Amino acid sequence: MPAPASSPSSPPSPLRHALQDYLGHLGVERGLAENTLGAYRRDLQRYVDFLEAAGVGDVSAVREEHVSAYVVALRNGTDGRGALTASSAARAASAVRGWHRFLLEEGRAADDPAHGVRPPVPPRRLPKALDVAEVTRLLDAAGAAEPPVGLRDRALLELLYGSGARISEAVGLDVDDVVAAATADGVVRLRGKGSKERVVPVGSYARAALEEYLVRARPALVSAGRGTAALFVNSRGGRLSRQSAWAVLQSAAVRARLGSRVSPHTLRHSFATHLLAGGADVRVVQELLGHASVTTTQVYTLVTADSLREVHAATHPRALRRSPA
């Protein structure tokens, strides 16, 4: 069983003190979002519990075999916690590697015991994307509700597909972030993970939907509240929540007969896949999506390659299997 954590009245152990310093570094110097920081905290507290249960009381005493044993424990639950999937275990192992790298760089450890430990490799899951006809059905269905809600819902989903924004980024927008949306060179200012800001163009359909919403629907919605800078507003006049935006998407998907295939990331996946299928450079798509690494974006190129193979097999005269003589 894991060792009990230090009581609130006692000073933290050397391990826990080092962990507090690292979490402070992630929050202050690297500016991680609170949800991301919470995930690091949970993963690393489990790691510290594991080390203390193994008799390790300080970072200088951690060896590679401790890290390897912890990765095994993540997958089979032998530390008294629930076993994790390969993807969740890989995330937790990545947090451990980051902490030990930090300790080495800060001179608080003589070596990095996690350097040679390979995290579990999760199965590659290709993102699900709608085809263009399905996206059109979804967007049409979003505007089926009576105004002003229908105009808001259509503008929200048009923006998600037209800009590749995450739902959390869309509901975090203020009106000033899309002040130029109705112009020919309209852009939207998105704030992504780690509060990183990027400016993304929006297409003509999204611009038209936003303009109609801002003129014909938002004033009526805002009047129900005390006034807000939020772009997307709920029926009480406050900022639309992420959960409510998800409900908007799900309702439109049901009306469009797309069912459970549609998730909060579906339009973002479709945005990226359709751009690459149309010939966009992967690094341009990386910038539009706000990915820190092009490796994250390259998963979409696999989707596009599969589509190209299907088209090639169906249309090229010498791609079909030859019939026996």
Count CB atoms within 10 A of the CB of residue 20: 12
Give me the pLDDT at residue 181, please: 47
User: What DSSP line would sit under 198-259, residue for residue?
Assistant: EEEE--HHHHHHHHHHHHHTHHHHHTTTT---BSSB-TTSSBPPHHHHHHHHHHHHHHTT-G
Give me the pLDDT at residue 45, please: 95
Give me the pLDDT at residue 300, please: 75
Residue among 70, 71, 50, 51 nearest 61 (CA): 51
Per CATH, 14-105 and 132-311 having the same topology is answered no
Q: At residue 122, what are phi and psi to the nearest 5 degrees? A: -70, 150
**Residue at 176: amino acid letter:** D
In angstroms, rounded to a whole number, what is the distance separating the alpha carbons of residues 44 and 53?
14
CB 66 within 8 A of CB 113: yes
Give me the pLDDT at residue 310, please: 63
Residues known to be catalytic: 166, 193, 265, 268, 291, 300
In angstroms, rounded to a whole number, what is the distance separating the alpha carbons of residues 292 and 72?
29
In the numeric block, which tokens belong to residue 47? 């790691």
In angstroms, rounded to a whole number, what is the distance separating the alpha carbons of residues 218 and 192?
24
Give me the pLDDT at residue 115, please: 92
User: What DSSP line would sit under 21-38, residue for residue?
Assistant: HHHHIIIIIS---HHHHH
Report the topology of domain 14-105.
Answer: DNA polymerase; domain 1 (1.10.150)
Give me the pLDDT at residue 322, please: 53
Q: At residue 187, what are phi and psi to the nearest 5 degrees? A: -135, 165
Q: At residue 206, what are phi and psi to the nearest 5 degrees? A: -65, -40
Q: What is the pLDDT along the chain (325 residues), one digit of tens a residue?
A: 444 444 445 567 899 999 999 999 999 888 888 888 999 999 999 999 999 999 999 999 999 999 999 999 999 998 889 899 888 898 999 999 999 999 999 999 999 999 999 888 766 666 678 999 999 999 999 988 888 999 999 999 999 999 999 999 999 999 999 865 445 568 889 988 777 889 899 888 999 999 999 999 999 999 999 999 999 999 999 999 999 999 999 999 999 999 877 887 889 999 998 998 888 888 898 999 988 888 778 777 766 666 666 666 766 676 655 555 4
- Domain range annotation of the chain: 14-105, 132-311
Residues forming a β-bridge with 190: 198
Residue among 296, 295, 165 nearest 231 (CA): 165
Give me the pLDDT at residue 1, please: 42
State the CATH class of domain 132-311: mainly alpha
